[in-house]
Amino acid sequence: MAEALQRWRAANDRVSAMPRGHADWLQWERAHGLDRPAPRPDDAPAGEPLSLTAVDALALAQQPALRVLPGLNATEQLARDRRAAALRAQARAAWVEAVTARAQRRLTENMLEAAELGAELARRQQAVGHFSAEQRLRHEQTAWQARQALVAARASEWQALARLWQHVGGTEDPAALGRRLPGTLPPPPALPDDAELAARQHAHHPQWVSLRAQWEQTRAALTDDAWQALERAWQHDVDGATRQTAPMAPRAEWRKPAWPHAWEAALHAHAQWRSLQRQLDADRWQGLQTAHALHQHAQVLREQWLPQVQQLEEEALLRYNGMLLSPWDLLEAVRQRLAAQHTVLAAERDAWLAVLALDAVAWGLPWNGPRPEVAATDTPTAAKGH
C-alpha cells in the first residue's frame, strides 16, 4: 500500500507539472490556438494576401494568346473573352480549394494535438492503475487516426497549392505561394437574379444572338396563318411518329408534295434556337438552384449550428470546473467543435465554387459546379475514464 500510494503521488505530481495538465483543458487549448487555425512557422503569412483580383491578373499573364490585340472583330473578341472567363474560373476555383485545404489542414493539426493529449493522459492514468490497457489503447488508436487524417490533409493541401501554382505562378514554388494565401475564405458575393444572369448569358454566348436572328428572319417570311398551320402539321406528324415508333425518338414522315422551302427553313431555325435556349435555361436554372442551396446551407452552419457546438463546449467547461464531467468529456467537446469547424469550411468552399461556376454560366459556358456530398465528420470515440 505504501508503494502504491507513493506511485500515485508521483504520478499526480507529474500531471500537475504538465503545461497541458487536465486541470484546465479548455484554457490551454485556447491559449495554444485550438479554437482557431493557427499558422505554423513554415507557413506564416508573407506579404500581401493573394486576392482574387491578383489571381485573375496572374492567370491571364500566363496566357499571352489571350492578350487584347488590335483589329479583332466582335466575334473574335467574344471568343477571346469567353476563353479568358474560363481561365479565370479555373484559377479562382484553384484559389478557393487552396485556401480551404490550408485552413482544414490547420484544424486537423489541432485535432491531432487534442487526441495526443488524450493519449498522454490515458498512459498516465494506466501508470497509476486508473485505466486498463484496453482503455489506454483506445485513446492511442484515436490519436493514430488523427495522425492519418493529418497525412491526408497535408497531401490535399500540397495538391491544391500545386494546382493553383500551375494556374498563376508568381512565386518560385507552391510553398511560397501558399504563404501568400489568406487565412480564411472571405464571404462569397451576392448571387445575381435570373433576369440579370439570363441577359449576360445571352449576350456572351456566340450562337444565341445569331440563331435568334436567323429564326426571326425566317419567321418574318411567313404569315401568322402559315406559321400556325406549320406548327399544327409538325405536331401532328410528331405525335403520329411517336405512336408508331415509341419508345424511339419522334420522327416526322414528311408528306408529299414537299413543303415549301420557307416553311422548312423556319421550322429548322426555330428548332435550333429553341434547343440552344433550353440548354442555356437548364444551365442557368441548375446553377441558381445549386448556388442558392449551398449558400443557405453554409450560412445556417456558420450562424446557427457552429454557435450551438461552441456553446456545448462552454457548457462542458462549466460542468468540468464543477467536477461534474471528466477531462475526457471536455476533450470530446473540443473534438466536436473542431470537427464542426471543418464541416463549415467545406460548406463555405462549396458555396464559393458554386458562385464561380455561376459566373462562368453568365459567360455562356456550361454549368460545371460542385456536387457536394454529405460526409461524416465524427471519428470513433475512445472509451472514457472517470
Please report, as a single letter, which amino acid is at residue 169.
G
* pLDDT value for 357: 92
Please report, as a single letter, which amino acid is at residue 344.
V
Prior bond of 257 cis (ω within 30°): yes
**Cα distances (Å, whole numbers) of residue 51 to 23, 96, 177, 281, 344:** 43, 10, 12, 32, 21
Q: How far apart are CA 62 and CA 91, in angstroms?
A: 11
264, burial (CB in 10 Å: exposed 0-12, middle 13-18, buried 19+): middle
Judge whether 96 and 201 are in contact, CB under 8 Å: no
Sign of the CA dihedral 278, 279, 281, 286? positive
* pLDDT value for 245: 42
Q: What is the DSSP letter of 35?
A: T
Q: What is the DSSP letter of 249?
A: P
DSSP codes of every residue in 116-154: HHHHHHHHHHHHTTSS-HHHHHHHHHHHHHHHHHHHHHH
* pLDDT value for 238: 47
- Per the structure block, which three cell numbers stand in for 59? 492567370
Judge whether 379 and 312 are in contact, CB under 8 Å: no
pLDDT in tens, the chain (386 residues): 566 556 656 655 544 544 444 445 444 554 555 555 444 555 666 678 888 888 988 888 888 777 766 667 777 777 788 888 888 899 999 999 999 999 999 999 988 888 888 888 888 888 888 888 888 888 888 889 889 999 999 999 999 999 999 998 877 789 888 888 998 888 888 888 899 899 888 888 878 777 777 777 776 766 777 667 666 666 655 444 434 443 443 444 545 445 566 767 777 777 787 888 888 889 999 999 999 999 999 999 999 999 999 888 888 777 766 666 677 777 788 888 889 999 999 999 999 999 999 998 988 888 888 876 654 444 434 444 44
Q: How far apart are CA 371 and CA 58, in angstroms?
A: 28
Judge whether 49 and 182 are in contact, CB under 8 Å: yes
Closest C-alpha among 360, 367, 374, 350 to residue 299: 350
Q: How far apart are CA 340 and CA 308, in angstroms?
A: 10
Closest C-alpha among 121, 112, 145, 106 to residue 329: 121
Parse the chain into domains and list their residue ranges: 19-251+261-362
Q: How far apart are CA 189 and CA 26, in angstroms?
A: 35
Residue whose entry in the numeric block shows the C-alpha cell 470537427? 339
Could you give the count of Cα atoms lying within 13 Å of 268 in the half-sphere of its Cβ?
A: 7
Judge whether 141 and 125 are in contact, CB under 8 Å: no
- Per the structure block, which three cell numbers stand in for 180? 501568400
* pLDDT value for 15: 47
Class of domain 19-251+261-362: mainly alpha
* pLDDT value for 42: 56
* pLDDT value for 231: 67
